[in-house]
Amino acid sequence: MIVAIRGQLARVDEESVVVRCGGMSYEVLVPPIVQSRLQSRRGQEVELLTVHFLEGPMGGGTIRPRLVGFLDPLEKEFFEHLSAVSGFGARSALRAMVKPVVEIAAAIEAGDARVLCQLPRVGERTAQKLIAELRGKLVKFALKPAEEGQAVAADIYSQAREVMLQLGFSETETDDLLRKVIKTKPDISAPDTLVEEALRQHSP
C-alpha cells in the first residue's frame, strides 16, 4: 500500500494533482481544502500522505486503483472516517471536504444537520446518516484549531469527558462545556483541570 508520495508538483487540477517522482508521474486525488493550499506550490517538491482505494462497479467492469492525498495527517484520518460511512464512500467524502475539518467534525458532533447539508451532495438523509454513524468518534477533530494554536490532547479530553458523564452530564452538554473551556484555555494540560474549569463555567 502506498502511504505517502514525495516529488515535484507538476500540475494542479480541479480534483487532482500530478506529482512527478523520478521518471514517473502519479495522479493523486485531493479534496478541495488540500487543492487550494497546493495552488501556489506548482513546481515545488511536496509530500502527500496518501490513502489507496479501488474505484469501479462491484458487480464487474473496470476497477481502477486511486490515490487520495493530504498534507495533514489529521485530515487524512478524518477522510478515512468519513469515507467509511455506509453508502457515502471515498468520492463523496472527497467532495464533502470543502470546509476545514474542524467545522465539519464539530457539526457532526453537535448533530447540526443544517451545516452538513451545505456540503456538496449532502442532503438531509445523508447528513443524519453521518451524524448517526460518526457522532462521538470525531471529538479530536472538532477540537483541532483551524489555523494555529494548541489543541488539548485527545486523551486528556477523553478522560475529562468520562468524568463529566459520571457526574451526570449528558453527552451533548459535556461536549459543549468542554469545547467552551478549550476554546478559551487551549493550554490546559490535565483532565482534572479541564473538568474543574468546565464545572466552574457551568455554575450559575
Residue 65 sits in the same domain as residue 84:
no
Q: What is the CATH number of the domain that holds 9?
A: 2.40.50.140
Q: Which grid cell is 119?
A: 456540503
Residue with cell 471515498: 90
Category of 10 on φ-ψ map: left (φ > 0), alpha (ψ -120 to 50) or beta? alpha
What is the domain extent for residue 90?
A: 73-145
* Partners of residue 16 on adjacent β-strands: 29
**CATH number (domain holding residue 162):** 1.10.8
Structurally, the chain folds into a number of domains equal to: 3
Q: Where are the beta strands (DSSP E) in the chain?
A: 4-12, 16-21, 24-29, 45-55, 64-70
Q: Which three cell numbers stand for residue 122?
A: 449532502
Q: Which domain CATH number covers 106? A: 1.10.150.20
> Using one digit for the tens of pLDDT, what is the confidence trace for 51-76?
999 887 766 678 899 999 999 998 99
pTM value?
0.72
Q: Which residues in the chain show pLDDT less than 70?
A: 58-60, 143-154, 204
pLDDT at 140: 75
